[in-house]
Amino acid sequence: MRLIALLLLAIGTMATGTTVTSAPQQTAAAVRPPLLFREDWRLPKHEGAATDENTRFTPEVVTNERLEAKLYGAGSTPVRAAEHEGRVDLWTGLATSPVALTLRDKRNYLDLTGLARLRWIVRTNAIQTLYPVVKLADGTLAVGSRAISTDGEFVQVEIAFSGIKWYTLDPQKVVVMLEVKNPDLSKVDEVGLASLAPGGGHGIAGSANFSTVELFAKAVPR
């Protein structure tokens, strides 16, 4: 009887033109990479009150022993550490050239593909604008087309690396050069932000502040 029922079902299916398909397979949802590193900065050791001169950027401002910070720009020497809103940040107001600030994981390259995100508390003054920067594994320093401006407020911004156009960045002049076609973001040496204008001094003049930073990305051992 069961055989007859199956034959009748098959005949009915052919007669009505119905096709039997299997249920579609579900793909795993994409998951954001975990926090790879965080940097909070600190003031360098100094005597007396903090000044523009005795709190200038040195390797000592980095609190995370896994990381090293780098400044690019011929006039970046005056970049200093300062305290705002209970945090320490790096301030570019006295820089005499454009400035790029990057972080390098001493043990790992960085995979910035997929859902990787750079989260940074920053402030820009007087229409200064920040742009993402990467140093590729082949040594190319590149700046991305995604612009960040906060109109004088400290704001936590989150940067996705997909859909960005990239351009070579001169490490001394920090000026934009030719487009970098299809850069390999799966193995990045350094990541950071760049201000493509010099500082304007104290007060509300053109400047940028780089406060607490977090990177959500996969690690690629060196």
Express each pLDDT in 181-192 by its tens digit.
999 999 999 999
Q: What's the full length of the chain, in residues?
A: 222
The C-alpha atoms of residue 190 and residue 202 are separated, in whole angstroms, by 29
Domains contained in the chain, CATH given: 33-221 (2.60.120.430)
> pLDDT at position 29, please?
72
> pLDDT at position 3, please?
41
Q: Tell me which DSSP letter residue 126 carries.
A: T
Segments of the chain scoring below 50 in pLDDT: 1-22
Span 21-38, pLDDT tens digits: 445 565 667 899 999 999
Q: Are 157 and 193 in contact (CB under 8 A)?
A: no
Q: Are 198 and 97 in contact (CB under 8 A)?
A: yes
> pLDDT at position 112, please?
98
Q: Is 129 exposed, middle or buried (0-12, 13-18, 19+ CB in 10 A)?
A: middle
> pLDDT at position 9, please?
40
> pLDDT at position 30, please?
82
The C-alpha atoms of residue 80 and residue 91 are separated, in whole angstroms, by 5
Single out the residue of 55, 117, 131, 48 nearest to residue 89, CA to CA: 55
Q: Global pTM?
A: 0.86
Single out the residue of 60, 87, 62, 90 nearest to residue 76, CA to CA: 90
Single out the residue of 142, 125, 115, 131 nearest to residue 217, CA to CA: 115
Single out the residue of 218, 196, 220 nearest to residue 208, CA to CA: 196
Q: Are 63 and 40 in contact (CB under 8 A)?
A: yes
The C-alpha atoms of residue 105 and residue 222 are separated, in whole angstroms, by 9
For the chain, the straight-line distance linking the first and the last C-alpha, in angstroms and rounded, comes to 68
